[in-house]
Amino acid sequence: MDPIIEKKLAFVLEYAKKKGATKSEVLFHDNAKFSLKSNDGELEQYSIANSQVWGIRVVKDRKIGLSYSESLEENALTEMVDQALNFTKYSAVDEFQDISIVHADKIISDSAQVYRQDETSLAEKIDFALSLEAAPKKLDSAVVGSPYNGYSDIISKNYIANSEGTICFEKQKVFSCFTSALIEKDGKSAMNWHGNNARTFAELGLDDVVNTSYNLASELLNGEQIKTGHYDIIFSQDQLATLLNIFATLFSGKKAMDGRNPYRDKLGEKIAHQSLTIKDIPLYTAGLGYQLFDSEGCLGQEIALIDRGLLNEFYHNSETANYFKCKNNGHASRTARSALKIASSNLVISLGATSHNELYGGTVLEILETGGVHSGADPISGDFSFAGAGYLWKNGKKIHPVKGVTVSGNFYQMLKNMAGIGDKLYPDIAKRLFAPIIRWSDLTIGGS
Amino acid sequence: MLDTVTAQKVLANAIDLGADFAELFVEKTKTNRVGLIDKKINEMQGGLNFGIGLRLIFGTKVLYGYTNSDHLHELLKMTCILSEKDKKQPQASLLAFNFSPRQDIHPASKTLAKDQYLDEKIAYLMTMDESSRGVSEKIVQFNGNIMQREQAVEIFNTEGLHACDKRHYTRLSALAIAQDGNRQSQCFEGPGGLNGWEFANQHDPIQLATKVGGIALQKLTAGATPVGKMPVIIGNGFGGVIFHEACGHSLETTAVAKKASVFWDKMQRPIANKCVSAFDDGTLENAWGSLNIDDEGMPTQKTQLIKDGILTSFMVDKLGAMKTGYARTGSARRESYRFAPASRMRNTFISPGKYSLEEMIASIDHGIYCSQMGGGSVKPGTGEFNFSAQESYLIKNGKIDRPLKAATLIGSGSDVLQKISMVGNNFAMAAGICGSVSGGVPVTVGQPALKVDDILVGGNA
């Protein structure tokens, strides 16, 4: 922890108290990001960025006020506090939101877990970035470019302090990369991108990123539509993560509190196939969502969101826990610039017992690429419809690549219609979902 | 915001290190957001963004950095770190700053600098809540937000440019949720303008809230959407998002210069049906996607992209001009100082045609009318797109038959442009945020209703 920042945190809390805040909470984020992009065999962009932002949440007369500042001057910090306090004059009385996390000792994240030593040189990073762009072209003369590629690493330092004596500090480092392959052949074109995220540079894995991107683009070049109808579907981990992210409303204590979670009154009810158990595990060491404490400073706790098909628990922060009169399970989410919400950390889906042959038996469409999932999904009704591409499988064999089809269904119904769940965990690119392969029954495919 | 002596020293240092071009983008943005949910104000916040972006160009290579500090030593340090690998003998020279006062073509009166208008905003949100719930007892939730932002920018470059602008943004958001038994549906609308709080005077809160409440209610009765290829009428206003995504992004030199666009070699060649003409216009008074100057300091323009089906212009920023040879069009945009500028859309629209909506519907035996589009995405390299329809109807024997749910349209931009057979006369525009390489920027999309003869519809029937 930087003692200068600690002093400023104390100054802001003291100033807020002096100006009449009943309670206050200060966040400070300090990020250093480095990124590279390549084009035509040369670095096209080289970026360094240092950003810092302060944010405050105050309680006064049981009302909440929020403000933030990117200006680092002392008068900007006092203006930030004054503005937050002014907002409390206009806010409604908030019966449930409070600043209540109390820790007698400082909480400091485990640096061995989230900030690993890495001695990669600048030259190595530049070589890597150039390879991200050049490597797909070397695989095949039909690759006309890798228009979207990039390498980045980010060090983020986050401080939380509140008027109740809590001080938390976390320092994280994450490496990321992605590339794309744009292929043109015989008047047809196809493009696919792939990426990776890791705690160390060495774990990024250039070959896997390049080959995955190229292989799918190459196959989709000859992709074709399949007949319109109802199919069993296997989503790749990345596509499943996207779907779960959109329909995370289902698990949100905040949305339930706000009347926007359609499963608000269904705790304890069967909402999914009995083989489905989904947990959120903040201290899951393989996950990049690893967090010792949440954005209020509450220690992260493992929860089963769905337990053998039953809706078991929502994500809660201190506010939603107060509202539902239940335990705060440490899933608060807030940045210096935003209001108090909830968020997931690492989602882990429990293993099943379906063999690979069974998962890919009969006719099944494997969806490896989607488009427009966010706009084509309605978290309230559960209906979704989006573009998809991947492979058609029959009796355990890949038949042909598929593209230009639509995938439609209802997510909440889909959870009940699981046809099989595999026996091995795979991560998504973001390393925040760890799930076995799951076969879902009877979704609508629009094609030829 | 940044004193000219500091700017001059930083840019001179960049030239000394061999940069061919250098630019400082200084930004100070005030924000205010008021949110309502469950009949009460649940969010009241604001803040100050301040930062400086430094762009160095060596050849066509861009080095970019940003910081929250305006101290000279911090900016000089960043210049040295950025150019460490590329420094060379100076070849360019630093021209003296020539301050060009902006011509303010987007006046605003009720600005954040004057007041936050919190009482008025709260009253507006409360009126929307009451009006939306008044549509029916089945409207079980209403969520309203008002965002106001005042972005002051100052740009210096080594070619002697010194320009300033102040941009006032206001956006109103209304989301209604309807419920009938176990069925729930929702509708969102979010008009925005390059304007102060007076923008709200153009949008009656009762009308806005009643509209979203009515559509959410109607969607409760929506039935299954047919699947397969069929004629589709894409509604006016936000329907323009298809052109924006499927064609507009492919006309930005950000994609064209890399040949990651199906249109990169199609200048002055037909790319659309003859009935299609399209513009990207940054000059529309107080429109959400408008600007006085772009984020490289160039006055914005009205750019004709397609004339009678022929490609007539790309959207070009400085780097795009260097790489493609096309003249700049005042299209350089960035979300904030955290992003290097890129060629981006402003207010992009297809010009109105001659057909009434009724004539267009009457021309279809079996198809759908997507009266309100949602979002979507496109692969610029191939032009393949997908879009969702927020509100759509089945057309049967030339007449509207019934509401539909969860429709998705997929296809390729170049293909759809050729298949537009009727252009309506009911032109309208709508606001959105476009996310791309230089972050999320305010844009307007627009069009009259368009009939596309053949497009794949993904439904759930």
Closest CA to B335 of B326, B325, B344, B327: B344
> Same domain for A399 and A312?
yes
What residue of A is the nearest CA neighbor of B374?
Answer: A375
A222 and chain B: CB distance < 8 Å anywhere? Answer: no
What confidence score (pLDDT) does residue A72 get? Answer: 77
Taking the CB of residue A154, how many other CB atoms lie within 10 A of it? 15
Question: What is the C-alpha to C-alpha distance for residues B166 and B29, in angstroms, rounded to an integer?
Answer: 9
Is B243:B237 a contact under the CB 8 Å cutoff? no
Whether residue B186 and residue A380 make contact (CB cut-off 8 A), yes or no, is: yes
- Residue B58: is its pLDDT beyond 90? yes
Domain termination site, one of A219, A245, A261: A219
End-to-end CA distance of chain B: 58
> Same domain for A231 and A175?
no
pTM score: 0.87
- Residue A448: is its pLDDT beyond 90? no
What residue of B is the nearest CA neighbor of A52?
Answer: B68
Nearest-CB residue to B258 (from A39, A371, A374): A39
Whether residue B63 and residue A91 make contact (CB cut-off 8 A), yes or no, is: no
Domain termination site, one of A219, A245, A277: A219
- Residue B242: is its pLDDT beyond 90? no
> Same domain for A265 and A145?
no
Q: Which two tokens stand for residue A24?
A: 């206050």
Phi and psi for A68 in degrees, rounded to 5? -145, 165
- Residue A139: is its pLDDT beyond 90? yes
- Span A391-400, pLDDT tens digits: 999 999 999 9
User: Which residues, other chains included, contact A320 with Cβ-Cβ below 8 Å and sequence gap of 6+?
Assistant: A96, A253, A254, A256, A257, A314, A342
The full 3-state SS of chain A, as one line of letters, equals CCHHHHHHHHHHHHHHHHCCCCEEEEEEEEEEEEEEEEECCEEEEEEEEEEEEEEEEEEECCEEEEEEECCCCHHHHHHHHHHHHHHHCCCCCCCCCCCCCCCCCCEECCHHHHCCCCCCCHHHHHHHHHHHHHHHHHHCCCEEECCCCEEEEEEEEEEEEECCCCEEEEEEEEEEEEEEEEEEECCEEEEEEEEEEECCHHHCCHHHHHHHHHHHHHHHCCCECCCCEEEEEEECHHHHHHHHHHHHHHHEHHHHHCCCCCCCCCCCCECCCCCCCEEECCCCCCCCCCCCECCCCCECCCEEEEECCEECCCECCHHHHHHHCCCCCCCEECCCCCCCEECCCCEEECCCCCCHHHHCCCEEEEEEEEECCCCCECCCCCEEEEEEEEEEEECCEEEEEEEEEEEEEEHHHHCCCEEEECCCCEECCCCCEEECCEEEEEEEEECC
A378 and chain B: CB distance < 8 Å anywhere? Answer: yes
What residue of B is the nearest CA neighbor of A43?
Answer: B61
What confidence score (pLDDT) does residue A220 get? Answer: 93
Nearest-CB residue to B459 (from A182, A446, A447): A446
- Span B200-218, pLDDT tens digits: 999 999 999 999 999 999 9
A41 and chain B: CB distance < 8 Å anywhere? Answer: no
What confidence score (pLDDT) does residue B377 get? Answer: 80
- Span B183-199, pLDDT tens digits: 888 899 999 999 999 99
Whether residue B44 and residue A48 make contact (CB cut-off 8 A), yes or no, is: no
Identify all chain A residues contacting B460, using CB atoms and an 8 Å cutoff: 383, 385, 408-410, 444
Nearest-CB residue to B140 (from A259, A374, A387): A259
Identify all chain B residues contacting A182, using CB atoms and an 8 Å cutoff: 260, 381-382
The proportion of chain B whose per-residue pLDDT surpasses 90, expressed as a percent, equals: 78
More confident residue, B436 or B9: B9
What confidence score (pLDDT) does residue B224 get? Answer: 87
Chain A, chain B: beta-carbon pairs less than 8 Å apart: 242
> Same domain for A185 and A259?
no
Mutate to test the interface with B, among A43, A48, A250, A254 (most CBs of B within 10 A): A48
Helix (H/G/I), strand (E/B), else coil: B214:
helix
Min Cα–Cα distance to chain A from B258, Å: 6
> Between residues 161 and 200 of chain B, which touch chain A (CB distance below 8 Å)?
177, 182-186
- Span B5-26, pLDDT tens digits: 999 999 999 999 999 999 999 9
> Same domain for A445 and A412?
yes
Which pLDDT band holds residue B461 (cuts at 50, 70, 90)? low
Looking up residue A157, the CATH number of its domain turns out to be 3.30.2290.10
- Residue A129: is its pLDDT beyond 70? yes
> Same domain for A277 and A181?
no
Domain termination site, one of A219, A253, A271: A219
Min Cα–Cα distance to chain A from B217, Å: 13
Taking the CB of residue B83, how many other CB atoms lie within 10 A of it? 21
What residue of B is the nearest CA neighbor of A444?
Answer: B460
Question: What is the C-alpha to C-alpha distance for residues A56 and B190, in angstroms, rounded to an integer?
Answer: 28
Which position has the token pair 């009126």? B127
> Same domain for A287 and A355?
yes
Question: What is the C-alpha to C-alpha distance for residues B184 and B177, in angstroms, rounded to an integer?
Answer: 7
User: In what helix (H) or strand (E) does residue B81 lie, and over which residues does it extend?
Assistant: helix B72-83
Is A296:A160 a contact under the CB 8 Å cutoff? yes
What confidence score (pLDDT) does residue B378 get? Answer: 79
Identify all chain A residues contacting B118, using CB atoms and an 8 Å cutoff: 87, 90
Which position has the token pair 């904030």? B336
What confidence score (pLDDT) does residue A113 get? Answer: 84
A91 and chain B: CB distance < 8 Å anywhere? Answer: yes
> Same domain for A277 and A160?
no
Which pLDDT band holds residue B336 (cuts at 50, 70, 90)? very high
Mutate to test the interface with B, among A144, A386, A405 (most CBs of B within 10 A): A386
Exposure pattern of B18-30 as b/e (b: 16+ CB <10 Å)? bbbbbbbbbbbbb
> Between residues 115 and 144 of chain B, which touch chain A (CB distance below 8 Å)?
118-119, 122, 140-141, 143
- Residue A444: is its pLDDT beyond 80? yes
User: Which residues, other chains included, contact A345 with Cβ-Cβ below 8 Å and sequence gap of 6+?
Assistant: A280, A281, A282, A284, A287, A289, A290, A291, A300, A331, A432
Which position has the token pair 């990426």? A195
Ramachandran bin of A322, using left for φ above 0, alpha for ψ from -120 to 50, beta for the remaining angles: alpha
B71 and chain A: CB distance < 8 Å anywhere? Answer: no
Rounded mean pLDDT of chain A?
94
CA-CA distances (angstroms) from residue A218 to A387, A420, B35, B170?
A: 19, 29, 47, 45
Residues in a beta bridge with A383? A410
User: In what helix (H) or strand (E) does residue B428 lie, and over which residues does it extend?
Assistant: strand B428-436
Tell me whether strands B98-100 and B161-180 are parallel, antiparallel or unpaired.
parallel
Alpha helix (H) ranges present in B220-259? 241-243, 253-256
Tell the burial category of A200 from Cβ atoms under 10 Å away from its Cβ (0-12, 13-18, 19+): middle
SS3 content of chain B, % helix, strand, coil (to 5): 20, 45, 35
What confidence score (pLDDT) does residue B390 get? Answer: 83
Min Cα–Cα distance to chain B from A144, Å: 9
Whether residue B49 and residue A49 make contact (CB cut-off 8 A), yes or no, is: no
Whether residue B456 and residue A404 make contact (CB cut-off 8 A), yes or no, is: yes
What residue of B is the nearest CA neighbor of A226?
Answer: B228
Identify all chain A residues contacting B145, using CB atoms and an 8 Å cutoff: none
Taking the CB of residue B362, how many other CB atoms lie within 10 A of it? 13
Q: Which two tokens stand for residue A379?
A: 């978290």
Cα A439–chain centre separation: 23
What residue of B is the nearest CA neighbor of A373?
Answer: B376
> Same domain for A195 and A243?
no
Identify all chain A residues contacting B459, using CB atoms and an 8 Å cutoff: 385, 406, 408, 444, 446
> Same domain for A417 and A383?
yes
Question: What is the C-alpha to C-alpha distance for residues A193 and B88, in angstroms, rounded to an integer?
Answer: 35
CA-CA distances (angstroms) from residue A19 to A5, A64, A80, A433, B95?
A: 21, 15, 12, 44, 49
> Between residues 29 and 68 of chain B, which touch chain A (CB distance below 8 Å)?
34-35, 37-38, 40-51, 60-68
A32 and chain B: CB distance < 8 Å anywhere? Answer: no
Phi and psi for B250 in degrees, rounded to 5? -75, -5
Q: Which 8-state DSSP code applies to residue B335? A: S
Closest CA to A178 of A36, A34, A389, A48: A36
What confidence score (pLDDT) does residue B460 get? Answer: 67
> Same domain for A198 and A229?
no
Whether residue A444 and residue B227 make contact (CB cut-off 8 A), yes or no, is: yes
Whether residue A380 and residue B185 make contact (CB cut-off 8 A), yes or no, is: yes
> Same domain for A271 and A253?
yes
This model of the complex carries an ipTM of: 0.83
Rounded mean pLDDT of chain B?
93
Whether residue B408 and residue A406 make contact (CB cut-off 8 A), yes or no, is: yes
> Between residues 277 and 336 of chain B, which touch chain A (CB distance below 8 Å)?
none
| Amino acid in the structure at residue B218 | Q
Identify all chain A residues contacting B63, using CB atoms and an 8 Å cutoff: 45-47
- Span A213-223, pLDDT tens digits: 999 999 999 99
What confidence score (pLDDT) does residue B325 get? Answer: 96
Is B373:B234 a contact under the CB 8 Å cutoff? yes
Indicate the number of domains in chain A.
2
Is A315:A328 a contact under the CB 8 Å cutoff? no
Using the Cα atoms of residue A137, residue A139, residue A142 and residue A143 in order, give the sign of their dihedral.
negative
What confidence score (pLDDT) does residue A111 get? Answer: 77
Averaged pLDDT, B230-246? 91
What confidence score (pLDDT) does residue B417 get? Answer: 86
Q: Which two tokens stand for residue A386?
A: 């989006």
Identify the domain containing residue A286 by its residue range: 223-448
Radius of gyration of chain B (CA): 24
B155 and chain A: CB distance < 8 Å anywhere? Answer: no
User: Which residues, other chains included, contact A55 with Cβ-Cβ below 8 Å and sequence gap of 6+?
Assistant: A26, A27, A28, A29, A66, A67, A68, A69, A80, A334, A335, A336, A337, A338, B47
The proportion of chain B whose per-residue pLDDT surpasses 70, expressed as a percent, equals: 99
Which pLDDT band holds residue B380 (cuts at 50, 70, 90)? low
Closest CA to B120 of B184, B41, B224, B209: B41
Which pLDDT band holds residue B101 (cuts at 50, 70, 90)? confident
- Span B260-302, pLDDT tens digits: 888 999 999 999 989 889 999 999 999 999 999 999 999 999 9
